[in-house]
């Protein structure tokens, strides 16, 4: 019988490695996933570069972004981005905040992002959020619950929101859908800038976005893309093993029991 928690945590780490390999995350940025059995909690790695995150680094937080269990790990200061979006959007099960260089020119200039090729239809409408509007001059980090709640309101029913002079936040119903939307959203920005430089942008129509997004969000599409990106991190040696997941998911009592069984087996040999 599959361990859903273990599989979820493994996918979370794979997602961070994929998004790093695809140049969406670098030293900064973070990915989270809602607890598959408890919608009032979510998982997110501790404060460290995404590429270095391991399953053993993952923390379980409430939607108020408080650790479920005491921890000595340092947490991301912007964790409220995740908690407040999960509060506002019961349909969202995965979130990423990033500063991809393909996206930043739009966050800086105020130029809107529009889907310009079929795989990017999943980004849909992309609203702007300007922290300055409600909170004046800040250090641009989203660290207070009220700031995270404001960002969630700007996201609304959409799947991506641009954060002026900062970056972007993307939401999805699953980790694989999140990676699909984030990677192709980043690619879309690169292609959009190239088309703008050529003097003409032929964006997808509202109807094309609706029909194409529905097609691309199906498992055959998201799984195909996931398998491709997973293969890329395998080739670079970034694929995490599932051994660590199994160890983390077991309770201390279960681990002691397994250890005792192994010792008895060795004695019999």
Helical pair 80-88 and 145-155, crossing angle rounded to 10 deg: 50
**Whether the Cβ atoms of residue 11 and residue 175 lie closer than 8 Å to each other:** yes
| DSSP three-state, residue 67 | strand
Q: How far is Cα 3 from Cα 142, in angstroms, rounded to an integer? A: 34
Q: What is each CA distance from 32 to 41, 95, 132, 233, 265, in whole angstroms? A: 11, 5, 26, 19, 40
Whether 177 sits among the annotated catalytic residues: the reply is no
Residue 145 to residue 136: CA distance in whole angstroms: 16
3-state secondary structure of 126: coil
Query: Residue 246: in which H helix or E strand, if any?
Result: helix 243-249
Please give the radius of gyration of the chain, using alpha carbons only, rounded to the nearest integer: 20
Q: Report the run of H or E that residue 108 belongs to, with start and end.
A: helix 104-109
SS3 94: strand
Name the nearest CA neighbour of 174 among 23, 32, 1.
Answer: 32
Rounding to the nearest 10 degrees, give the CA dihedral for residues 135, 139, 143, 144: -20
22, 51, 60, 78: the catalytic one is 78
What is the length of the chain?
Answer: 269
Return the active site residues: 78
């Amino acid at each position: 019988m599959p361990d859903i928690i273990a599989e979820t945590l493994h996918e979370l780490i794979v997602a961070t490695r994929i998004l790093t390999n695809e140049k969406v995350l670098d030293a900064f940025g973070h990915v989270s996933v809602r607890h598959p059995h408890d919608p009032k909690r979510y998982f997110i790695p501790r404060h460290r570069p995404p590429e270095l995150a391991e399953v053993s680094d993952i923390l379980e937080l409430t939607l108020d972004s408080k650790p479920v269990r005491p921890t000595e790990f340092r947490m991301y200061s912007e964790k409220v981005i995740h908690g407040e979006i999960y509060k506002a959007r019961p349909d969202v099960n995965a979130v990423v905040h990033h500063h991809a260089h393909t996206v930043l020119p739009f966050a800086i200039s105020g130029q809107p992002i529009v889907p310009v090729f079929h795989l990017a239809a999943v980004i849909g409408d992309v609203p702007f959020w300007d922290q300055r509007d409600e909170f004046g001059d800040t250090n641009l980090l989203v660290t207070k619950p009220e700031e995270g709640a404001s960002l969630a309101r700007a996201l609304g029913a959409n799947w991506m929101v641009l954060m002026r002079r900062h970056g972007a936040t993307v939401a999805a119903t699953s980790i694989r859908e999140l990676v699909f939307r984030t990677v192709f959203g980043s690619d879309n920005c690169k292609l959009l800038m190239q088309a703008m430089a050529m003097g003409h942008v032929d964006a997808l129509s509202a109807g094309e976005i609706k029909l194409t997004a529905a097609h691309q969000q199906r498992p055959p599409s998201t799984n195909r893309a996931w398998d491709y990106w997973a293969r890329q991190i395998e080739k670079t040696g970034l694929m995490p093993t599932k051994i660590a997941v199994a160890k983390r998911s077991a309770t201390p009592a279960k681990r002691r029991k397994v250890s005792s069984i192994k010792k008895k087996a060795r004695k019999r040999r």
